Amino acid sequence: MAEIKQAALVLQDGTLFEGELIGYEPELGYASGEVVFNTALTGYQEVITDPSYAGQIITFTYPHIGNYGINAEDFESDKPYCRGIIIKDLARRYSNWRSDTSLNTFLTRSKVSGICGVDTRRLTRHIREAGAMPGAFGTADEKTLLAAAQKEPGTSNTDLVAEVTCSEPYFVPAVKQSATNNKKIVALDFGIKRTIIKHLSMIGDVQVVPASTSAEDVLSYKPDGVFLSNGPGDPASVKNAPETIANLLGKVPIFGICLGHQLLGRAIGASTVKMPFGHHGANHPVKNMVSGEIEITSQNHNFAVDTDSLNGKASVTHVNLNDGVCQGLSIYEANAFSVQHHPEAGPGPHDSAYLFSEFDQLMDKVNGGQNA
């Protein structure tokens, strides 16, 4: 049995939580980042490997994590970009016919630290009341952890997209090559999830390009549509992206998800604001303002579009029923739309998966039905 190492988590405001170290033992004796909580009951592998968590430490509110292990197929990126995980109880044994290894082994191999035995109910309540904030955890003493937490900048005013975007363009062919499935989609990678690429490849060929790609270079691929991906951090800090998107508007159909939604808003002059503790989970109710239907959605974001700053440049298509946050935009005359939630899920419900079909139909409409 591996040696149990006592550890602690200290938030920026000095709040202390005790636990045990799991996963990779950090070289400095601690790991630091912005502490957030996720309320999904399953899907811990997809959550940990979602690039949108770059710069953050993930608290899982579900108490028992790791019971079905880790498998080779459910990664959302090539490696985890989160700064660490916080859980109540780590499963000592895993059991699932698809599993390849344990969560603890995966964390160690991926050089991701974690802390278990934490009172995650107390921690989540504290974040809800005080807001998401930087923290540090590890085997270092409390004074060292507090200093690390107070030194940590968090996710505001930081370009985290630069850490997760691809370094070179790459091509993903359509799942089924046929005369009725020959669209060309350029996906701007701000931290794109693999499940999103799978959905797009059901529509056509996908050319994934780095976040810094110019509008001119995007259009040089002669796309039928452009996709704006999810990603981490502050949309106000993503260099040149709003200008690139603004130069694409009206020239090609556009669909954005999560950070892509926020960047579309900024491209038309709207502002974005940081939420107190964000939306991270798989059960958020969203109202489709067009159809009137309620969708249960997967979410992962700390920033949102300020609807008061839209000034009539876009219509709000979706609203979060928990707090009224803008969840969707449509710029009808420019053939562009976006949502804050994740229709691809991974993990989560599939109520909003129809949005990929709407993107498909929009491309057919704009391109004269040549791909219909």
Alpha-carbon distance of 237 to 179, in angstroms, equals 41
Structure tokens at 204: 């056509």
Question: Which pair of structure tokens corresponds to residue 110?
Answer: 């991926």
Active centre residues (catalytic): 258, 342, 344
Structure-block tokens of residue 165 = 């975007």
- What residue spans of the chain are helical by DSSP H? 44-48, 103-110, 120-130, 142-151, 161-164, 194-201, 215-220, 241-248, 259-267, 354-366
Length of the chain in terms of residues written = 372
Assign residue 291 a region (left: φ > 0; alpha: ψ between -120 and 50; beta: otherwise). Answer: alpha
**Identity of the residue numbered 187:** A
What would the DSSP string read from start to end of 233-248? Answer: S-GGGSTTHHHHHHHH
In angstroms, the CA 113 to CA 124 distance is: 19
Token pair recorded at residue 267 = 């491209």
Question: What whole-number distance in Å separates Cα of residue 66 and Cα of residue 223?
Answer: 41
Instruction: Work out the number of other CB atoms within 10 angstroms of the CB of residue 23.
Output: 23
Answer yes or no: are the C-beta atoms of 36 and 281 closer than 8 Å.
no
3-class SS string, 133-144: EEEEEECCCHHH
